[in-house]
Amino acid sequence: MTTETLVTIRKESDDASFADIDPQDVALALHTAGSVAIRGFQASLDDFVSISDAVCADWHDYRGGGFRFGSLDRATVDTESSILTATGSTQTFPVPLHGEMYYFQERPQVLWFYCQVPPAGGGGETTVCDGAQLLAALPQEVRDYLGANDLVYHRRLEGSDWRQAFMTEDLDEIDRICQANNTTMTYDPESDVLTTQYRTSAIVVGSDGTERLLSSLLPVWFGEQIADAGTAGDVLHEESGRTPPIVIRTPEGERVPEQIVYTVYSVGEALEQRVDWQPGEILAVNNTTTAHGRTESQDPDRLIYVRMGQFAT
């Protein structure tokens, strides 16, 4: 069993070219290690598209994504609708370790990041952490808690938010999407608010029986804390006054205890590997095995693109 989470493919000599990278090596590293950084080649956006197209297909348009809200919306890069800017790309706050879209049943298997403009002044690194190592490193009582208590993701989407999140106004279609994702949905015509619930475990069992901790627990839980503290406007640089669009409760309606969340946070922080960015560098993350996040950055102008897809084979 490998303990390596991140494989780096580095340009070793002047005559090495991006075109020489074998996509099968990238795919293999995604399956064995969980994440792959391609560094030093000063890859173009076209290179990024071609290497990701060689490994993945079925590009995700982020329909159903939880964070298409106001300034947090992922702007779509106009040349290619599957290329998005990283969540909150104009924001500087850190994002703790999480699996992408684990609040929804249908989610991308692979995340591809491409650095156009690196963050100035340090920080803004992308973090990766193997979900099996994270689970194994937790104290037994935390593993017991997460094994015994499913998470219920409650989303509350106001009128413009649900139309944006699901990219449609058709409630029947949204109902079909929710049913296909084991998600219950309620719509209140009076307030034009859509609410959904999705229940799942934070411990995900792979096809080979490997147990991993992969969930959206940390960013959702801390997001609610920030909203409670009334600091969301400061952090997001907007006057929203909104209730959090997504929260996590136990099936009994309780919040996940603070000590559970803080333990997962600190154990993850000790295990995670950090990828700092240079222009034209690429990082691919296997979203079925490996959590990711981002450290705080002082630079709101950094530009990281994201593509999310399924393994082609």
Q: How far apart are CA 140 and CA 150, in angstroms?
A: 17
Could you tell me if 273 and 5 are in contact, meaning their C-beta atoms sit under 8 angstroms apart? yes
Q: Quick one: 21 or 246, whose CB is closer to Fe ion?
A: 246
Determine phi and psi for 23, rounding to 5 degrees.
-55, -30
Q: Quick one: 219 or 280, whose CB is closer to Fe ion?
A: 219
Query: At closest approach, how far in Å is the CB of 217 from Fe ion?
Result: 13
Query: At closest approach, how far in Å is the CB of 98 from Fe ion?
Result: 6
Query: At closest approach, how far in Å is the CB of 189 from Fe ion?
Result: 33
Would you tell me which residues interact with Fe ion (CB under 5 A)?
Answer: 100
- Torsion, CA 89, CA 118, CA 33, CA 58, rounded to 10: 50
Which residue has its beta carbon closest to Fe ion?
A: 100
The three-class DSSP label of residue 251 is: coil
Query: At closest approach, how far in Å is the CB of 12 from Fe ion?
Result: 30
Q: Quick one: 196 or 290, whose CB is closer to Fe ion?
A: 290
Query: At closest approach, how far in Å is the CB of 218 from Fe ion?
Result: 11
Rg (CA), the chain: 19
- How would DSSP label each residue in 149-182? --EEEEEEE-HHHHHHHHT-S-HHHHHHHHHHTT
Query: At closest approach, how far in Å is the CB of 100 from Fe ion?
Result: 5
What is the DSSP-derived secondary structure letter of residue 70?
G
Q: Quick one: 145 or 219, whose CB is closer to Fe ion?
A: 219
Question: Which residues are 291's β-sheet partners?
Answer: 129
The three-class DSSP label of residue 13 is: coil
Q: Quick one: 47 or 100, whose CB is closer to Fe ion?
A: 100
Pick the closest to residue 257 from 94, 99, 148 (CA basis). 148
Q: Quick one: 146 or 214, whose CB is closer to Fe ion?
A: 214
Going by their DSSP bridges, the two strands 246-249 and 151-157 should be labelled as antiparallel
Could you tell me if 115 and 281 are in contact, meaning their C-beta atoms sit under 8 angstroms apart? yes
